[in-house]
Structure 1
């Protein structure tokens, strides 16, 4: 995986989630209770794992029948795996502001651009962090002076490993988003200039496209 000069921590799906996928591939159709029994766990313990794997299309489920391999596994045999697509093929451009912009101006920008997140850069166009509508709402409630504060004071400074390069895979983006609880990640050049953004909407859209490719 490309790290664009940054320290990389390889974060995988949990071992339990991978074991669940293997069990389903080997024994489908299989119920959640049967999966839990094979793992020596309770059904409640693996409920969130099953929900996540279904959401990612790694598993599919039929009421009163059980779990089956999901659309992504079927796609491996009939269409290119969407996870193997490079970031530069799916990235969009973020709404970029400088850290000196006031919170009031940042709020206006969010509304005008119909965006949920602003990407903050310095005077050399290098990435500094992100700020969300929720961040600014928390700041401005009950604080009449908050509007004049620079947005750089309220932004979240993402760790280096929460960014990707254009040559990284979409799979890398998904792993980072899951690991850090993010709705999107910035795409940076080796000089840390912001060259794109990949959000959860992009990922979900690509999931649907992959599913459509299977049924064509």
Structure 2
């Protein structure tokens, strides 16, 4: 099966072939782009084994016998196809109970909702770690005190592509995205979640199917 890359990804591969090892900074310079603009493309190229990345060294073109896959077909897959059940808590939930829920469910983030399943916040492992480092009584502190609130939450919708989701995860350096459904009043109802692990798994599974 022939690999189908977009034009920018083809240019990146050629630059790496001709200049390996080369850093993302140098690749961005040659394309007159920022490093942030290339993150998603570089992630795709490394996850599909077209490129190899070595910390503090740079990118190499992979000489391994990589299985060719149709990336265009992969890009068309929707968030709805791989989303999982969201792990949610209420605003009044204590930090202690949130920690128990997070580790019991083995997730990286919890979504905070109201009685109508509307997204009002997100709380991560890092948020919970920060609040437990002092002499705080975690049973007395509600998650509403430490959560990230709307509109400062990055979300995706079920009709978005997994590539769009991957791009947000890479760009904003987060582990999990809430999958939301807009209501008539503009509020966002939580209907799922998609994580960095989900993204990696779909790339691996798609490659094996090829």
| TM bucket normalised to smaller | 0.7 to 0.9
Give me the whole-angstrom Cα distance separating, in 1, the residues matched to 2:64 and 2:182.
Answer: 36
Of residues 120-129 and 54-63 in structure 1, the stretch that sits farther from structure 2 once superposed is 54-63
Question: Which residue of 57, 69, 90 maps to 2:48?
Answer: 57
Residue 199 (str. 1) matches residue 203 (str. 2): no
The equivalent of 1:104 in structure 2 is: 96
Contact 2:121 2:153 in 1 (8 A): no
The equivalent of 1:153 in structure 2 is: 145
Give me the whole-angstrom Cα distance separating, in 1, the residues matched to 2:207 and 2:47.
Answer: 11
Label 1:38 to 1:188 Cα distance change in 2 as closer, same or farther (>3 A): closer
Question: Which residue of 100, 104, 124 maps to 2:116?
Answer: 124
Contact 2:95 2:138 in 1 (8 A): yes
Contact 1:188 1:194 in 2 (8 A): yes
- Secondary structure, counterpart of 2:88 in structure 1: strand
Label 1:61 to 1:165 Cα distance change in 2 as closer, same or farther (>3 A): closer
Aligned runs of 1:165-176 on 2, under 5 Å?
165-176=157-168
Give me the whole-angstrom Cα distance separating, in 1, the residues matched to 2:105 and 2:28.
Answer: 50
| TM-score, structure 1 normalization | 0.71
Gaps of 5+ in 2: 1-6, 55-59
Gaps of 5+ in 1: 1-17
Give me the whole-angstrom Cα distance separating, in 2, the residues matched to 1:130 and 1:38.
Answer: 32
1:37-95 CA-partner distances (Å, limit 9, x unpaired): 99669xxx9xx9697454333732499xx51599999422xx76322101110000121
Of residues 145-154 and 83-92 in structure 1, the stretch that sits farther from structure 2 once superposed is 145-154
- Report the CA distance between 1:112 and its aligned residue: 2.0
